[in-house]
Structure 1
Amino acid sequence: MSDVVLHIVLNSFTNDSRVLRECKTLTNAGYHVQVFSLHEKGLALTESTDTYDLTRFALRTRSWPKTFFSQIFKYCECVWKMVWKGMRLRPILVHAHDRDALPIGYLIAKLTRRKLVYDAHELWGHTAHAAKRPALVKKMAAKMERFIARRAAGVITASQSIARHMEKSFGFEGIILLRNLPYYRAREEYSRDGSPLRKNLGIKPDKVILLYQGVVSPYRGLEPLIKAARFLSDKFVVVILGNGPLVPHLKQMASDIDLTEQVLFHSAVPPSDLVPFTAGADIGISLIEDICLSYHYCLPNKLFEYMQAGFPVIVSNLPEMRKVVEEHKVGLVLDSWDPESIASAINGFWGKDTYYMYSRNAIKAAKLFSWEIDEGKLKDLYARILD
C-alpha cells in the first residue's frame, strides 16, 4: 500500500510555516507527504524536497475579476482539478488545511475511501474575510464545515479558545490543539548585531529595533504603530518584515509624516531563514485588532518566534496572547490603541530592569513553546487513524 499522505492548501505554499513543519514531522515519522496548492506566476508547477512533493494547480479562471460569481467558477475549477488528481494519487490519508480546502479533502477522501483530517488554522466562520460574504453563503459554509468536521477522523486547530468554540459549534469534543510554534533554537546561536536584518537595512548596533514580522495586511495594528513612532525616542527604529497588500499604503504613510528613517521595510524571508533575522531585533510587536472572533482568539506564531529570539513582546489585550504574556512575564499587554500611549509604554520600559527580566523570561519560556513539544500530537493522531 502507498504511504502517501495528501495535504491540501489553497495558497501558493511559499511561506506557510505551519504546514511546512507538519510536513517535516510526518516525513520524519516515515510518511511520504504530497502537497496540493495553487499556482502563481513565477512559481514552479512542481517541487520536490526532502520533506514533501508539491503540485501547484494553475487555474484558467485565476485572472477573472474578483466578483462573487467569478469566485464560484474559480473554486469549481480548483475542486475539479484537485479531486481528479487526488483520486489518481490514492493517498492513505487526506489532510485539508482550513475551511476552503475542506470540501476538496472530503471529496477525495470519500471517493478513495480514505480518512480525512481537518486542520483549522483559524476560526474560519468568524474571520474578517468571512464577514464580507453574503449571509446565505456564510450560513451554508458553516453548515458544510460542521457536516464534514463531524465525519473527519480528526480535527486540529491552533489555539485552545478556538478549539473550545469549534467543539461547541460542531457538537463533539476531542479537537486537538496543535499550536503555531517554531522549532526550538538556543538564543546564543544567533547574533543581534550581526543579524542579516540589521545588515540589509543598514541599522547600527546602537539602534533599538521594534519588529513586526508576518503578513502585512489590515487589522495588525501597523498604522497605530507607525503613528506611535513619532513619539518614540530617537534610538528606536520600527521594522516591518513581511509582504502583503498594506505595504504600499504604510510606506506612503511613513513618508507623509516624515518617518522614512524611523520606519523601515524588509520583504518576507523563507521560514527557514527567519530566526537569524528576528534575532536582530530588541522588542517584538503583535498588535492584532479585535475585529472578529477569530482574531479575538488568535495565538500567532510570531509571538513565540520573538520569545525564542530572546526579547520581550508587546501584544494587544486578547485572551490567548494575554495569557501567555502574563503567565510567563515576557512583555507588555496594551489596552490602548492611541499612538502616544503605545509610545509611552515602549519608552517607559526600554532599558529598565523590567525589560531585562522580560528578556530572561522569554528565553526560558521559549523551551516550553516549541514545535518539538506539540508535534507528537500530530504523529499520534496519524498513528491512531492509520493503525
Structure 2
Amino acid sequence: MKKIAVLLDIPILHDGRVRRVVESLSEQNEVDLFCVKTTFDDSSLFGKNVRVFNYELNINWINRNLLFQKKFENLPQLVLGKNIKYDFIYCNDYPLLEVSVALKEKIGAKLIFDSHEIYIATINQFFPVSGWKVIYGKPLIWLNQWYHGNREKELVKQVDKMITVCDSLKHYFEEKYDLQNILVVRNCPKNIQSIYKSNGIRQELKLKSDTRILLYQGDVNVSRGVDKVAEAMPLVNEHIHFVVIGGGNKLKEFKDKYSSSRIHFLGKKVFDELNEYTLSADIGILLIEGYNVSKKYALPNKLFEYMAAAKPIISNQLLEPARIINEINCGVLIDDSTKDSIAEAINKVFERNDLVQLGNNGYNAVLNKFNWEVEVQKLKELVANN
C-alpha cells in the first residue's frame, strides 16, 4: 500500500475530478488530501484510507495578480509536518507545481503533475481587456504569461509523470515542452446510472409538460456560449425554453440581461443532484468558444454529463467534442457564428425524429467506453508499477 499526497488549490467540493482521483486511488493506497479550507467537513466525502488536511491561502495583491504560487506558502509546512515519506506527490494544475517540486526534493517522492488545462493560456480570463481597466489588464496578462510560461517550462523537467485530460492537450504539452508519454485520463463520469424520466426542471419552473427544454450546464463565464444562445432565443420557436444551470462571474450580469419567460437561470446545483436536472432536459448544448488555446483544445465535462443522461447534444466545431460526437453519432454540429444560424440550427434539431437514438448512442458510449471506471485504470496502473 503506497502513500500519496494529493495537492489541490481549491476546496475539494468544487473539483469532481480530484474527488474521483482520491476515491479511486484510496481503494489500494493511503491518500492524504491537502485542499483549501471551507466550513464543510471534507473528510465526510471519503472512506477510511483518506485523510483530509485543510490549509488557508496567503492572499495579497501581488499573490493574486502575479505570483500565484506564493498563495500556497503555508502548504509545504503542513505537508512536511505529517512526517510521512510519501511515495507520490500528486499535483493538480500549474499553480501548485512549484510547491510540489520543492516537496518532491525534500521528501524524495515521485511527482505526478495532472494538468487539467493549459493554465498559462487561461490567464487572459483573469484580467480586464476592455474599458479603462485595460490600462493595467493587458500588461498584467503579458507579464503573467511570460513569467509563468517560462516557470512552467523549467518546473515540468522535475515531473516524473504528466497527466492531462484529452489528446489535444497531450499533443500540445508534448510539443511545447519536449515531453514524451504524457498519460491521458479523461474526466469521464463515475457510476453511470440507469436512465429514468425526470420532470425536475419543469416542476421547478412550473412549465407545461409539453415544453421543450434546451439545457446548458456548467460555468457561466466568458466564452461559454451562454450569451450567444440567449441572444438567439427570440428567433427560436416559442415552445422551446433555454435553461442555464451553473454559477460563475457572469451569472448575475447574464441573468439581469437575458432572463425572460423562456430563458431561465437556476444557479449552481449540488453535484450529486445535477443528474436529476440533466435528465429532465430534451437537448444539451455546448458552444464553448476558442477564446484561448486552452479553450480551443478543451474536452468539457458537460459533454459526458449530457451523454450519461442520454441527451442528444448540440455543439459547435470545438475540436475534442466534435470528434467524439462524430465518432459515436450522439449529436449535431452547428454553425454558431451568428444568432440567426444558432436559432435556425436549434429549431431544426428539435424537429428531428432521431433525437432519442442520438441520446441512446451517447449513453451506450458512456456505459462501455467513456466512463471513470475505464479511465482510472490507467492511473491505478501508473501508481502500482512505479
Instruction: Identify the residue that residue 159 of structure 2 maps to in structure 1.
Output: 152
- Residues 342 and 184 of structure 1, relative CA distance in 2, 3 Å threshold: farther
Asked whether the 8 Å contact 1:187–1:363 carries over to 2, the reply is no
Instruction: Identify the residue that residue 35 of structure 2 maps to in structure 1.
Output: 37
Instruction: Identify the residue that residue 199 of structure 1 maps to in structure 2.
Output: 203
Q: Counterpart of 1:158 in structure 2: which amino acid? A: V
Mark the runs of 5 or more structure 1 residues left unpaired by the alignment. Answer: none
- Residues 48 and 186 of structure 1, relative CA distance in 2, 3 Å threshold: closer
| SS, match of residue 216 in structure 1 | coil
Instruction: Identify the residue that residue 89 of structure 2 maps to in structure 1.
Output: 94
Q: How does 1:307-326 map to 2 (within 5 A)?
A: 307-326=307-326
Instruction: Identify the residue that residue 211 of structure 1 maps to in structure 2.
Output: 215
Q: How does 1:232-311 map to 2 (within 5 A)?
A: 232-255=236-259, 259=260, 261-311=261-311
The answer to whether the aligner puts 1:328 opposite 2:324 as a matched pair is no
Asked whether the 8 Å contact 1:130–1:138 carries over to 2, the reply is no
Greater shift after overlay, 107-116 or 261-270? 261-270
Mark the runs of 5 or more structure 2 residues left unpaired by the alignment. Answer: 128-137
Q: Counterpart of 1:47 in structure 2: which amino acid? A: S
Q: How does 1:79-228 map to 2 (within 5 A)?
A: 79-89=72-82, 90=84, 91-127=86-122, 128-129=124-125, 133-188=140-195, 190-193=196-199, 195=200, 197-228=201-232
Query: 2: distance between equivalents of 1:180 and 1:25?
Result: 13
Query: 1: distance between equivalents of 2:360 and 2:42?
Result: 44
Query: 2: distance between equivalents of 1:20 and 1:85?
Result: 20
Following superposition, the deviation at residue 356 of structure 1 comes to 3.1
Query: 1: distance between equivalents of 2:329 and 2:63?
Result: 49
| SS, match of residue 210 in structure 1 | strand
Query: 2: distance between equivalents of 1:69 and 1:344?
Result: 46
How many aligned positions are there?
A: 369
Q: Counterpart of 1:111 in structure 2: which amino acid? A: K
| SS, match of residue 56 in structure 1 | strand
Q: Counterpart of 2:162 in structure 1: which amino acid? A: V
The answer to whether the aligner puts 1:49 opposite 2:56 as a matched pair is no
- For CA contacts below 8 A with separation 6 or more, give which structure has more relative contact order: 1
Following superposition, the deviation at residue 174 of structure 1 comes to 0.4
Cα shift readout 1:259-286 (whole Å, capped 9, x = no counterpart) = 2x21112232232322222111111111
| SS, match of residue 102 in structure 1 | helix
Query: 1: distance between equivalents of 2:281 and 2:274?
Result: 12
| SS, match of residue 96 in structure 1 | strand
Query: 2: distance between equivalents of 1:344 and 1:370?
Result: 33
Cα shift readout 1:166-206 (whole Å, capped 9, x = no counterpart) = 01112121000011110242443x3233x3x3333333431
- Residues 45 and 297 of structure 1, relative CA distance in 2, 3 Å threshold: same
Cα shift readout 1:10-56 (whole Å, capped 9, x = no counterpart) = 1122221111111111122x22222222235xx24763432443333
Query: 2: distance between equivalents of 1:349 and 1:46?
Result: 42
Asked whether the 8 Å contact 1:212–1:239 carries over to 2, the reply is yes
Query: 2: distance between equivalents of 1:346 and 1:38?
Result: 41
Q: Counterpart of 1:87 in structure 2: which amino acid? A: L
Q: Counterpart of 1:244 in structure 2: which amino acid? A: G
Asked whether the 8 Å contact 1:209–1:282 carries over to 2, the reply is yes
Query: 2: distance between equivalents of 1:262 and 1:146?
Result: 48
Query: 1: distance between equivalents of 2:383 and 2:216?
Result: 35
Cα shift readout 1:243-263 (whole Å, capped 9, x = no counterpart) = 1111111111124xxx2x211
Q: Counterpart of 2:372 in structure 1: which amino acid? A: W
RMSD: 2.2
Instruction: Identify the residue that residue 370 of structure 1 maps to in structure 2.
Output: 371
- Residues 373 and 139 of structure 1, relative CA distance in 2, 3 Å threshold: same
